[in-house]
Structure formats: C-alpha cells, structure tokens
Structure 1
Amino acid sequence: MEERSRLAREPSESSEHGRKGLFDSARNLEGRLSGGNSSAPVAPAAPAAEVETVPGGRKKNYNKYVVFCTLLASLNSILLGYDIGVMSGALLYIKDDFKLNSVQQEILVGILNLVSLVGGLMAGKLADAVGRRKTMATASVIFFVGALLMALSPSYPVLMGGRVLSGIGVGFAMIIAPVYTAELSPPGSRGSLVSFAEVFINTGILVGYVANFALSPLPQWLGWRLMLGLGAVPAVFLACAVLVMPESPRWLVMQGRVSQAKTVLIRTCGGNKAEAESRLTAIVESLGDEYEAEKQEVRDEHTSKMDPEADQQAELRKIPSVASSTTEQRKPMLKPKRKRGSNVWKQLLLPSAPVRRMLLLSLGIHFFQQASGVDALVYYSPTVFAQAGMKSRTSVLGMTIAVGLTKTLFILVATIYLDTVGRRPLLLASATGMTISLTTVAVTFRFLHVGAKVNMSGTQHASVALVVIAMLAICGFMASFSIGFGPTVYVLTSEIFPLTLRARAMSLSIGMNRGISGTVALTYLSLAEALTTSGAFFVYASIAFASIVFIFFVVPETKGKSLEEVCKYFGWQPDEGGGGQELREV
C-alpha cells in the first residue's frame, strides 16, 4: 500500500524531461521579454518568419503562413461587421417600406445580437466536437442562407426569420475566429493576430456604410434588399477559405492526433522543429490526466532522442501485453478515467478559485465593452446624426462613413501596439477616452436641446458649432473604443482560459457580449425617449467610467506569454476541477 502511494507521488523520469523542457522554454521566454540574458539556449528563428525588432529589445515573429491563416479566419468577423454597418442604413428604408414603429425597429436591430448569444453557446460545444475548421464552415452556410432570406423577404416576419438565422451564424463566427487564431499563433505576435478579428469587424462595418451610401439612389424597395443580400458574399469566401486552412494544433492534441498537431506546429513555426516540439510539449503537459496517452507519446519522443534504452522501453509499451504488465508494476490501481470534456460545463458553472478569476475578468470585460453604448452609436448613428441637426439622408449616410473610417483606422493602432505596449495600458487609455467622449456628446446634446423628442424635426435650429462638436466627439469615442476595448477584449478572452475550457468559456463570454449588445440595441430609442438623448449618453459615460476602475483592479498584463503561462498566472493546474485520475485503496 505504502509503496503504491509513493509511486503515485513520484513522476517518472520521462515526465520530468517533459516538465523540464516546458520550464526551460518558459525561462527563455521570460529572458527575451525582460531584455536580459538567459543561460538556457534559445531556439533559432524560424526561416519563414519575418522578425521585427520592437522597443525594449524584444522580438516579434510574424510567420507568413500563420498570418495567412489568420486573415482567412478573420473573414468570420466580416459577417458581423457588415451586418452591423448595413442595417444602420437599411433601417431607414425598411421602416418606410414595411411601416415599422420604433419598437419593431428596435426588435429588428436587436434580435440578431440576442440570437447570436444562442449561436455562440452552440458553437463552443460544436468547436470542441468537430473542430475549429468545420465550425467556421457551418457559420458561413448559416449566414449565407440568412442573408438571402432577408434580401428576398416579402414581409416583416420573413425578414425577422432571416435575421434570426444570421444571428446564429454571427454567434458561431464570433466564437471561432479568436479561438482559432489564438491557438495557432506564437506568443510574441498573438495579440496583434487575434486583433485581426476586430479589424475585420470594423472593415465590415465600413463596407456596410459604403454599401448604404452607394445603393441609396436606387428605388426604396430594391436598395435595402441589395444592401442586405450582399452579406452573402463574404460567407461564400469563408466557405472556400476553410478548404485551405489547417486545423488548430491544440484541438488536434485534444483528439489524440499528436503527430498531426506536430505537423501543423512545424509549419506555423516556419520549419523550426525544436520550437515546434517545445510548444507541443507545453500544450500536452497543460492537459489533465485524462490525456495521459498523449502526454506519454510526447515524453517518449523527447526521451528517445537522449536515451536509446528509453526508446526501446517506449516501443515495448506499445505492445498491449507488455504495456499492461508495466502499468501493473509502476502505477497504483486507478479509478476509470472520466470521459474527455464531460465535466467542462461543471468546471465553468461551479468554478474553482482560478476559474472564477478567469470568468470574472472575461465576463466583466465583455460587459463593459458593450454596456458603454458602442452599438447604440453604430446601429443608430444615422438617427443620432439626424437628432443632432443633419437633415439630408445622403449627408447622414455620408457621416456614417466618416465614423466607420475612424473606427477602422484606429483599430490598426491596437493591432500594431498590442504586443509592445500591452493589453492593460491600451484598455485604460481606451476607457478614459470613451468616458471623455461620451460625456462631451451628452453635454453637447443637452445644449442642442434635442433630447425632448427622438425625431427628425427637433433640430431645425441647432447651432452648427455644437453639431460639429457632437460629430467630433462621436468620432473620438469610436477612435478610443478601437484602440483598446474593440480588439483587446477578444484577445484577453481567447488567451486566459486553459485549452480544455477555452471554446466553451469563450461561448459564455460571447453570450455576455451579445446579450448586453442586444439589450443596448433593443433599448436605445426607448431610453432616449425616456431620459432624452443627452441622458442616455450620460448613462453610457457612467458605465465607461466604471470600466476604468474594473480594468485597474482586475485586468493583468498577458503580452508575450504563452497560453499555458497565462493560465498559470491565475493559479490553474491541469487537473483543476477533477478532470484527472484519482487513487483509491485496494
């Protein structure tokens, strides 16, 4: 009995080799991040990677193949962005064509976000079951059907049906793009690459605004149908892109396909086999004991290069009778292993202390991103501009292009500096700028005296100077949002959770995001009628200010860390939540 207990506590030599390799890799990474010298050897740079020197002496590796795959995966985000942008302008014509009241308009706009919550919850489980690539393909098919149904809808109920389908597709897309990119990217450039999703969302919004402006001269019944129908185009491109994309190496490891995962990692490391093996070891060792077969395969491969006798022992373990005998000699009797993934939801809904900290950060940051009112300005920007004193529909749609262009250009700032300045400083700067801009919008609308009624006629005598200030403040809000809150929220969520929880934890986070987004979209017109437009923006400004406090006390810095190192920061252990094996007396 005592001998078995002692053996259970002592890891094998091969396990020590795996852990030693992981810790050496972590020390090398920390040395590069701090700019200091490390006595441990550093793997040579990948030959196919472009290396950029950044402030502080650190290196940022951009593997061309990873960038290519990231761009293809980010096509998912265009689906959401285009829908947001195009609906803001199409709504001006749909409400006249179908004679919609303000409540019906709010439901039409907000239903996509609420339904995408359901799509996001479905996508997390599907992504773990069938893989990241097939989930992307599913998203493209659903959104394609939804876009066509909206374009051909003869009535409001059919239009709503297409909107619901598109919402499910958007939920799938929002989950899978950042997860796939985070799992494929190297630590040094992960922040920038994951932020591509937000770049493409903003690109989609801008394209939607441009489509509104370009198609506005067409007859009313035709213009909005073409606006919505063009949303099927990026879905077709995404379905084709999936055919040339690799599967996530981390998902492959979860399925026991270690050799395929290694092949993908070698390619994403630019052919650098040493770096690929180091990353593979870190991925496998981060899993619980239910993945012991994959761990042993990686350990055997590692030790065989250093010890021929260990190589022979590894081969013997592959023979069933020998493997059984070896297990009886070296391991205590174990309870049957739990089915992989069977307790994922239990770990998320009844979380341990490390998972609670992860969920607090993820759910909180998604709440503040949407509760600050960004979708009120994006979806209802033409209405807001009309309230501010702009009379012509052409000028209103033209101003939305300016807002979309500002949002898209400033997202590039975050893409460039996420891996140098870091996540936390950009978030603090973003929240501060959003608070100042929203307060300025609220004060300006108060002086414009346009808050009493939400209609097109209350601003006929508005001051030109105040209108200009309001427009600049709205653009300032979009710029501030884009440099931090826009991309960084998805980057943080995709990197703080362990591999076994990541996809479904992302589902919960996106569920929070879409739920709050839908609430804002469903209530903005009613809120503006109840509190005046100025009062509504004061509410959003207060929430933005509260986000500064949340970021300061809760959000850590994760730049330059591997996904496995980030999990260790929160105190996560591979067998957290009972995912591994348990000893019992016999």
Structure 2
Amino acid sequence: MGCKGSTIPIFCAENVPAAIRGGLVMSWQMWTAFGIWLGTCANLAVKDTGAMSWRLQLGSAFIPAVPLLIGTYICPESPRWYIKKGRYRNAYRSLQKLRNHEIQVARDLFYIYAQLRMEATLTNMDTNYAQRFIQLFTIPRVRRATLASFTVMLAQQLCGINIIAFYSSTVFVEAGASVTEALFASFGFGLVNFLFAFPAVWTIDTFGRRTLLLFTFPQMTWTLLAAGLCNLIPKHLTAHLALVALFVFMFAAFYSPGEGPVPFTYSAEVFPLTHREVGMSWAVATCFFFAAILSITFPPMLQAMTVTGAFGFYAGLNVVALVMIFLWLPETKQRTLEELDYIFNISTSKFMAHQCFRVLPWWFKNWVFRMKVGPCPSLWAFEGTAQSDAFIEKVKAQEKERRENERQGNERRASQAQ
C-alpha cells in the first residue's frame, strides 16, 4: 500500500503534459474511491454468509488485482527516470508512446535534460537515500516543497474523512441503523465518494489545487458539524438517521473533488526530480502515519465524546487545516515540473506575507464588499505563459503596434496611388 501510494502519483506526474497533469494524476484517487465502493458492495454481497464472511470480504480484493497486475506491463517507463539514469534512447522511445508528435518528443526530451543539468548545479547528485532525506529539511527550495506536501497530506487526515471511511458502519449504527441499514448507508457513502470525484478531473486543472481546497474545506466543516449535531435528535425519529446520512453524504461530496485527489497530485509534482522519490515517500508516510493514529484513537474518542463530540472535534480541525493551506500552499495549476522550481524558491515568510496582506484584503474587497478591484495579485509571473498578466499586456501592446503600423502603411500606399 505504501509503495503504491508513493510510486503511482510520481509515475503519472512525470509522464503527462502540464496542462492535463492534475486531471490524469488525480484519476488514481478517483479509482481508489471506486475500489472503496466495490469493497462496500462486497460487504453487502457476503453479509449473510455467516462466520466466513470476513474471509470472502478480504478475498474479493484479489479479483480486480489480477487485471491491474497485467496492465502494469503495458505502461512505458518514466522518461524522466531514464534520463536521470543516462538512458536517452530509452527515454526517447518512452516519450514517443506518451506524446502526439515527434516535435513534442524532442522538445520534452531536451526540456527534461536541461532541467536535470540545472538541478545538478544546485544539488549534489552523488548522494544516497539517507542524505537526500536530510536535504528535505535543509535545502530551502526542497524544504518549502516538504512543508507544502506535509500540510496537504496532514489536512487529508485532519478533515475527518477516514473516521467515516474506516468506521462508517459504526457511525450509522450509532445513529440508530440496523446492521443491514448501516451496510447500505456505507454503500451510499462509497458511491457518493466515487461519483463526486469525476468533476475534479476537469476542475483540478481549471480552478486549481489550492482553490479547490480553499473552497471545499469550509463546506466540509459545516457538513461534518451538522452531521454531529443531528445525533442530538431523538433516535426514535426517522429524521435522526436520515439527516445524519444526508450530511455525511454531503461531506463526502465536498471531499471527493477537493481534499480527496489533491494531496497525492500535489505532492507528486512539487519536488525536484533529484528528491521526488524521497519527497513523495515522506508525504505518503505522513498521510498513512496520521491515518493510523486516527484509526486507533477514534473508537475511544467515540466512547468519551459521543458521535456529536467527535464530529465537532474534527470540524474544528478542518478550520485548522484551512488556515494551514492558506498560509503554506502555493498554487501549482498548469505549471511544468520545471517552472515549479521558481515558485518554491520564494521564501515561506514572503509567501505568507503576500497571502495575509495582499490576497486576503483583495478577497474581502472583491467577494465580501463586492468591489471591482481587478484580478487577484500574483506573487510570480512566467514570461510567455497565458497565465502571466504582464505577458498578456505585452501581447496586447504588440498587437496594437502592429495594427497601427498596418494602418500607416495603408495610408502611405493610398497617398502614393493618388
């Protein structure tokens, strides 16, 4: 599980173009949600088989694993990994399978090679795994990526999704459902979690990773709090179970396009190639470590605080995660893995100051007071990209100058003809 979580997002991020990287990398999370839903289907299918039901539940995971194993032999190796090992011919062949045209292949081959050469001038390439792990916290550019990936992975556990994913049947039984009703409610939770991951295929590369998180975390906060408060309704009323299930499903619907796919996509793209494998390993270890803590602590928390208290506690942690994301998570939407080096070379203090004293006032003026104050101020701009305001103005100025020159030329030709 740990190897899969570390390897697949990196493999996807290194293979796909920047413009669609988010949508394709997050498909891993989408199909993970599909697998969780299939697990709830298996639970329903074998619920009446008696003492051997748990064996059938575990064994059912073997069925989809076989075609996945076969499919791995079809996938081409990462061209970035080939170039890192000096196997340029293999990298070229791999890119031929991943790009539409030979020109794109040659362009990306040179782009990756140039990026590796630049990284070699900044980092000692002759290091072992332990040394590169230490460099996650000592090299400023890598340290900022480590902080960002740690934040987004920790937020996935702080939001409370796994207290429902791990203990959904327990939560619904506490809400007054029978065992069968709890299994069907868990089935519904898994289905919502899967279906609402589909919008992120489009939104993650249009609205962006950071924007999705800043929008969905407040929604997860109030839906989780509402689900907890609905447990105060007397259990003999139908509204008790119905409202708990409704808000839990709404919570899953907001989680799936935001904090569901973003952490692994984000962590796979923020590290330089020299530290990508160790950085992603650190990020995944962070996620699974806190998932383990959550799974151990939730049952005693449920006994001590009841469902209402536990859900309220995690609703508060959603607010903490929202603040951390706002202060420490730069946007990476549609940036090449090479352009991200520039973004993460900006100091954390400068980024935090920009968020607090420029972005936050702009947000209040634009969305609260409804003042038209222009686009959100940006801390960086890349020459030659459509996202750069300076570049857009430059193109407009050049077009205006071209039209003026064309008009003057027409006037001169007209006067000469007369």
Question: TM-score surpassing 0.5?
Answer: yes
SS of residue paired to 2:223: helix
The corresponding residue for 1:359 is: 146
1:43-192 paired onto structure 2 within 5 Å: 170-192=1-23
Does the Cα contact within 8 Å between 2:169 and 2:182 map onto a contact in 1? yes
- Summarize deviations over 1:274-321 as a string: whole Å, max 9, x none: 2222212221222257969xxxxxxxxxxxxxxxxxxxxxxxxxxxxx
Contact 1:403–1:475 at 8 Å: present in 2 too?
yes
Asked if the contact 2:79/2:95 (under 8 Å) is kept, the reply is yes
For 1:478, the equivalent position in structure 2 comes to: 252
Structure 1: which amino acid aligns with 2:158?
A
- Gaps in structure 2 of 5+ consecutive residues: 347-418
Q: How high is the sequence identity, in percent, across the aligned residues?
A: 31
Please say which of residues 531-540 and 439-448 is displaced more in the overlay: 439-448
May I ask how many residue pairs the two structures share in their alignment? Answer: 344
| Separation of aligned partners in 2, 1:499 and 1:362 | 15
| Residues 530, 340 of structure 1: alpha-carbon distance in 2 compared, 3 angstrom cutoff | closer
The answer to whether structure 1 residue 347 and structure 2 residue 135 are counterparts is yes
- For the structure 1 residues 421 and 221, does the alpha-carbon distance in structure 2 shift closer, same or farther, using more than 3 Å as the test? same
2:86 maps to which of 256, 259, 268? 256
Aligned to 2:392: none
1:236 corresponds to: 66
Residue 232 of structure 1 deviates from its aligned partner by: 1.9
1:211–1:175 Cα change, 3 Å: same
Contact 1:430/1:482 (8 A) holds in 2: no
Amino acid at match of 2:55: R
Q: Give the aligned partner of residue 209 of structure 2.
A: 423
**Aligned residue identity for 2:222:** I
Instruction: Give 1:490 deviation, angstroms.
Output: 1.0
Deviation at 1:447, TM superposition (A): 3.8
Partner of 2:354: none
User: How many angstroms apart in 1 are the aligned matches of 2:125 and 2:308?
Assistant: 59
Cα 1:473/1:254, change in 2 over 3 Å: same
Choose the corresponding residue for 1:437, options 220, 223, 226: 223
Change (3 A) 1:341 1:531: closer
Is 1:413 the equivalent of 2:231?
Answer: no
Query: TM-score, length-normalised on structure 1?
Result: 0.57
Query: How far apart in 1 are the matches of 2:294 and 2:175?
Result: 20
**Matched-pair contact (CA < 8 Å) for 1:290–1:340:** no
Structure 1 residue 462: Cα displacement: 3.2
Q: 1:532 aligns with which of 306, 310, 325?
A: 306
Cα distance in 1 for residues equivalent to 2:209 and 2:69: 32
* d(CA) in 2 for partners of 1:345, 1:520: 26
CA distance in 2: counterparts of 1:256 and 1:346, whole angstroms: 25
- Aligned residue number for residue 223 of structure 1: 53
User: Is the CA contact (8 Å cut-off) linking 2:23 and 2:205 kept in structure 1?
Assistant: yes
Q: Indicate the RMSD between aligned Cα atoms, in angstroms.
A: 1.9
The residue that corresponds to 1:381 in the other structure is 168
Mapped to 1, the partners of 2:25 and 2:102 lie a distance apart of: 24
Q: Which aligned segments of 4 or more residues in structure 1 are displaced greater than 4 angstroms?
A: 288-292, 339-342
Change (3 A) 1:263 1:398: same
Distance 1:291 1:260 in 2: 21
Shift of 1:388: 0.5
Q: What is the identity, as a one-letter code, of the residue corresponding to 2:226?
A: T
Determine if contact 2:142/2:272 at 8 Å carries over to the other structure.
no
Cα distance in structure 2, aligned partners of 1:214 and 1:192: 32
List per-residue Cα deviations over 1:145-203 (Å, max 9, x = no partner).
xxxxxxxxxxxxxxxxxxxxxxxxx1111111111111111111100000111111100
* Residue 558 (structure 1) aligns with: 332
CA distance in 2, matches of 1:372, 1:534: 15
Q: Which amino acid aligns with 2:271?
A: F
Match for 2:174: what amino acid?
Answer: Q
CA contact (8 A) 1:382 1:396 kept: yes
TM-superposed deviation, 1:441: 1.4
| TM-score using structure 2 length | 0.79
